[in-house]
Amino acid sequence: MWQQSWKLLDRALFGPYTLQQNALARLLRVLRYPYAIIRDVLGGELTLRATGLVYTTLLALIPLIALSFAVLKAFGVHRDMEPFLLEFFRPVGDAGPQIVHRLMLLAENVSGGLVGVVGLALLLWTLIGTVKKIEDSLNFVWRVQRARSMPRRIMEFVALVMIGPLVVATVIAFSKLAFDRMASYTPERFTLGAHAVQLLIQLAPYAIVTGLFTAIYLLMPNTRVRIVPALVGGLVAGIVWAATGKAFTVMVIYTSRLTLVYAGFAIVVAVFLWTYLGWLILLIGAQLAFYVQNPNYLRVGHAEFRLSSNEQERLALDIMARVAMEHRAGKPPWTLEKLSRALALPGIAIAGMSEHLERTGLLAQADDGKLFPGREISSITLAEIIHAARTRRTGHDPHPRLSAPGVLELQTDMERAWRNACGERTLADLISGKPHAA
């Protein structure tokens, strides 16, 4: 029953009717996004990664605060980091200030040199591992197969540790300036502009969370993320964060069962649960940003995308033909993203076939993702392209006794037939429309 309902919903949101331009079809296309997000959350991958991030976060929280504490201390604003932590732990209720006080005390001890070299190295290793796990989770959301190299990761990590606290210090400075300015206003001077400043101050925490989410979506995945999808994901995640925080606060304050069941561990449970919800919200926002930038994935989601042998041959020929036509005309080269939009296929299918064609020497890909013919198009035969698509390996070697009597002979006849159909035609003949000589 449950599976049947999802299938009906899938047909309603992705059926032929949604291709029309009336209001209902547009509404159905918009509803694809929450449908895809709910489907992915129920699928379990996002929740599993959020759970893993909870563990690594709690291990790295002290090192992160300590390093930020040390950097901010040079500017004399290290104590002003406390309000940000109070805002993060506000949903856990009255225990929030107590948790923040202990964290600040531990961070001050760490930054003050109470740990040895080995201990500090262990803390840094924990923090680097956490950053890597966050990057891996966002790469999973963005379907990125290759992570950053270790030298690049270390450089970006150092930049993050050095620049991040400076950004926090800047935000603190401007916030204090705004608060001081508001405190100096008298009732006679409380004009419309002052009301606007007060409103901005009230919205500042939500703007900071949204900006933080947007920055993470832009910088952490090892791929190019456009500003608009990242901003959409950050805005939605910020709104969900605020709404979830208020609901969680009400639950902690008015739910007595948590204390009755867990007794003194109720605070720990609340911290774990809130941290989990925070990471899940961040991953949901990243998933939404990915779908906004790559709407062709809305129906597929995280399911493994498989093409039939016939579809793989057609895809290989289509990629080579499009790349060759742009190359011959001197137009801007195709990219994987442009091909994904043009062919209405998920980028993972285009990327997999392009990488295979590149390995066979038929296609070349530049560092910026632009695609070019691997060699002169008049020397690339159609038989080579089809053979490359047909011999794309699945990773499993067939058993030597797999073929029944007559199967290999039939395959040989089929091989001969399609090679005769291709003849000596080249990629240049295909894009010029030259017919096959019978």
Dihedral (Cα; 142, 220, 365, 312), 10-degree rounding: -10
Same-domain check for residues 358 and 424? yes
Same-domain check for residues 179 and 249? yes
**What's the angle, vertex CA 415, arms to CA 414 and CA 421, rounded to 5?**
90
Confidence of residue 386 (pLDDT cuts 50, 70, 90): confident
The pLDDT value given to residue 290: 93
Tell me if 33 is assigned to some domain: yes
- Residues 73, 52: Cα–Cα separation, whole Å: 31
Residue 164 in this model has a pLDDT that exceeds 60: no
Among 251, 273, 297, the domain-final residue is 297
Same-domain check for residues 36 and 155? no
Q: What is the pTM of this model?
A: 0.67
Confidence of residue 114 (pLDDT cuts 50, 70, 90): very low
The pLDDT value given to residue 435: 60
Residue 363 in this model has a pLDDT that exceeds 80: yes
Say if residues 237 and 281 touch (Cβ distance below 8 Å): yes
Residue 358 in this model has a pLDDT that exceeds 80: yes
In this prediction, residues 408-418 reach a mean pLDDT of: 79
Say if residues 289 and 218 touch (Cβ distance below 8 Å): no
Where is mean pLDDT largest: 114-118, 121-125, 197-201, 394-398?
121-125
| Largest interatomic CA distance in the chain | 98
Tell me if 132 is assigned to some domain: yes
Same-domain check for residues 77 and 13? no
pLDDT, one tens digit per residue, over 271-290 is 788 888 889 999 999 999 99
Same-domain check for residues 332 and 262? no
Same-domain check for residues 197 and 335? no
pLDDT, one tens digit per residue, over 389-399 is 888 765 555 55
More confident residue, 73 or 211: 211
Question: Rounded to whole angstroms, what are the CA distances from 93 to 85, 250, 340?
Answer: 13, 8, 47
Domain that holds residue 321: 309-394+407-432
Tell me if 316 is assigned to some domain: yes
Question: Rounded to whole angstroms, what are the CA distances from 126 to 63, 115, 130, 281?
Answer: 8, 15, 6, 23
Same-domain check for residues 32 and 53? no
Question: Rounded to whole angstroms, what are the CA distances from 359 to 126, 195, 255, 363, 422?
Answer: 37, 63, 60, 8, 22
Tell me if 412 is assigned to some domain: yes
Residue 235 in this model has a pLDDT that exceeds 70: yes
Among 297, 321, 348, the domain-final residue is 297
Tell me if 304 is assigned to some domain: no
Tell me if 204 is assigned to some domain: yes
Same-domain check for residues 61 and 12? no
Tell me if 350 is assigned to some domain: yes
Give the SS3 label for residue 372: strand
pLDDT, one tens digit per residue, over 241-273 is 888 887 777 776 666 555 555 555 666 777 788
What's the number of domains the chain is made of?
Answer: 3
Same-domain check for residues 292 and 338? no
Say if residues 199 and 190 touch (Cβ distance below 8 Å): no
Least confident among 71-80, 161-170, 179-188: 179-188
Neighbour-count burial of 178, counting CB atoms closer than 10 A to its CB (0-12 exposed, 13-18 middle, 19+ buried):
middle
